[in-house]
Amino acid sequence: MTDNKQAQNESKALALRDELNTKFLDIIKSEQYPVEVREGISNVLDIVKEEKQLTQLYPEVLAEVPISTSLFQDKCVQYEICHTPHKKLRQAMLEMQDRLSALYAAKTGHKKAMLKVVRLESELEDLQEDLEKETDEREKKKLNLDIIRKEILLEEAKRGLTSSSHLVKDAALKVVMQQKLVEQYQEEVEESGLSFEESEFIYYVMYFTKDAEVQLRTAGRIDTGTFGAISQLPEGLRKKVLWNISFIKKKLFEEGWPPEGDYIFHVFRDVLEPKKTGPDEYEGVNIKEFLSVTPIKLLTKEAEEVLKETEEDS
SS3 per-residue string spanning 222-245: CCHHHHHHHCCCCHHHHHHHHHHH
Query: Residue 59 corresponds to which amino acid?
Result: P
Q: What is the reported pLDDT for 265?
A: 95
Q: What is the reported pLDDT for 158?
A: 84
Q: DSSP H helical segments within the chain, as ranges? A: 2-29, 35-49, 54-57, 59-64, 71-73, 85-133, 137-192, 196-219, 224-230, 235-249, 264-267, 269-272, 287-291, 303-313
Q: What is the reported pLDDT for 168?
A: 78
Q: What is the reported pLDDT for 106?
A: 81
Q: What is the reported pLDDT for 26?
A: 60
Half-sphere exposure of 93 (CA within 13 A, CB side): 8
Query: Residue 269 corresponds to which amino acid?
Result: R
Q: What is the reported pLDDT for 76?
A: 82
Q: What is the reported pLDDT for 267?
A: 95
Q: Mean pLDDT of successive 10-residue segments in the chain (314 residues)?
A: 58 61 57 64 66 67 69 80 90 85 83 90 89 83 87 85 77 82 90 90 95 94 94 96 97 91 94 92 92 85 54 58
C-alpha to C-alpha distances, 139 to 6, 17, 102, 127, nearest whole angstrom: 12, 18, 46, 11
Query: Residue 114 corresponds to which amino acid?
Result: M
Distance CA(90)–CA(182), nearest Å, equals 9
Write the CB contacts of 283 (distance below 8 Å, at least 6 apart in sequence). 201, 205, 236, 237, 239, 240, 274, 275, 277
Specify whether the CB–CB gap between 144 and 131 falls below 8 A.
Answer: yes
